[in-house]
Amino acid sequence: MIYQLALHTNPDYTRAMKENYHISHLSKLPKWRRPEALLILMAIAMPLAFSVWSALLNNFVVEIIRFDGLDIGILHTVREIPGFFAVGVISILLFFREQTLALLMLGLLGLATAATAWFPHLSGILTITLLSSIGFHFFETVNQSLQLQWFSKEEAPGKLGKLMAIGSAATLIAYIFIIFGWDKLNLSFNSAYMLAGFACFLLAVLGYILFPDFKASIPQTKKMVLRKRYWLYYLLQFMSGARRQIFVVFAGFMMVEKFGMDVQQLTTLYLINLILNICLAPLIGRAVARHGERNALAVEYLGLALVFFAYGGIYLFGWGVLIAAILYLLDHLFFALALAIKTYFQKIADPRDIAATAAVAFTINHIAAIFLPVVLGFLWLASPFLVFCAAGILAVFSFVLALLIPGEPRIGKETIFCVS
C-alpha cells in the first residue's frame, strides 16, 4: 500500500548554462569530473566543517557559555529539528536538481560553521546551530540519495566504505590542524571555526563550477512516498536515530564534564578514532558485501548494547578515563557498520523511490532526536547511568530488528516474513 502526497512539478531553473551528462554515458569525461569524484569532493568538504564544529562544541559551550547537561540537550534538540523536516527536501527538488541542492546546502553548512563563535550566548549559538543544521541535514539527505543512485548494488558497499574512509581522512586533517594549531598558531574557537567553515564553503563552490550536471538513469519520484513493504527499514532508521542521538549528545559531554578533557585531549581521542576508521572503513564495506546486511547490523547493535551498558558502568563502578576512552573508540567503530542500512534499502527499493524515501527516512531517523536530548538532559541531571542504560536497551531492540532482515534482501523479499 502506498500513501502519496502529490506535488506539482515546476521547471528546474538550475540546469541552465551547465553541461548535462547521463550517468551511463560518462566516457567523454575525465575521471576527475565524474560522479564518484564529486562524491569524494563532498565527502572531504562536509567533515571539514562538521567535524571541527563537533570537536570543539563541548569545550566551547562548557568553557565559554557555561552549559550544563540540560543546556546541551536543548542545543542538540534545536540542531535536530531540520533533520525532522528533511522530508521537505522533496518539495525543494521541484526547483533544484539533487546535485545542485547538495552543493547549496554544503555551502550553507560552511558559512554557518564559520559564524559559530560570533555569538557566544545561548540564543546566538542556538540560531547559528539551526542554520548549520539545515545545511548539514539537507545535504546529507540528498547526498545519500545520490550515492545510492550513482553506485550499482554490487559496488555500493565497497564504494560507501571508501567514501567513509575519505571522510575520515579529511576529518583527520582537520583534527591535526586543531591539535597543533591550538598551541603553535594560538588558535581560538573563532579562528578555528572560521577556517574550517570557509574551507567547506570554497569546496562547495568548486564542486558547482567544475562538475557538470549528472542525469540519473532512472527519474526520481518527486512526491512523498511511504510504502508498507519498507516498514523494517523505517524502524531501523528510527532506532538508529535514537541511539546515535544519545551517543552524540552525551558521550562527548561525559568526557568533558566527568573527566575534564580539554580541547587537545578530546581531539586526540577523535584522532585515534579517525585513524582506525581510515584503515577499517574499506574493510567494513567489503565485510558488508560478503556477509550481508543482517549479519553486519546484528554485530553493530550487539556491540553497541555492550558499549552503552559499559558507559553506565563508568558511573556505577567509578571506572576511569582509560576505560571511557576505549569505549568511545569502540562506539565509533560499531557505528561505522551502519552503512549496511543504506545497502539494505538499495536492494529492496524501487529505484524511482530512492530520493523520496531518503528524505522520508531522514525525517523518521530524527523523530526521536527532537525530544530525546531534552528528556534525557533532565534525566542526566538525576542519573547519567540511566541515560546510557536507555541507550543499551534501544540497541538490544535494534539487534532483534536486524534479525528480521533476510539473508539476501530484494524487492519482494524485504523481511524474513515475506514468502516470495
- The pLDDT tens digits of the residues spanning 235-257 come to 998 888 887 777 777 887 788 87
Q: What is the mean pLDDT of residues 88-115?
A: 85
User: What backbone phi and psi angles, to 5 degrees, belong to 55?
Assistant: -65, -35
Most confident of the ranges 88-92, 103-107, 126-130, 160-164: 103-107
Residues 6+ apart with CB under 8 A from 165: 277, 278, 279, 281, 282
Is residue 319 classed as helix, strand or coil in its secondary structure?
coil
Which cell is 63 given? 568553557
Q: How far is CA 282 from the centre of its chain?
A: 17
Give the pLDDT band (50/70/90) at residue 124. confident
pTM for the whole thing? 0.75
pLDDT surpasses 80 at 105: yes
pLDDT score, position 146: 84
Give the pLDDT band (50/70/90) at residue 199. very high
Domains delineated in the chain: 2-402 (1.20.1250.20)
Percent of the chain with pLDDT over 70: 89
Lowest average pLDDT, out of 70-84, 103-117, 285-299, 335-349, goes to 70-84
Q: What is the mean pLDDT of the chain?
A: 81
Which cell is 400 given? 532483534
Residues 6+ apart with CB under 8 A from 404: 232, 415, 416, 417
Q: What is the mean pLDDT of residues 167-189?
A: 80
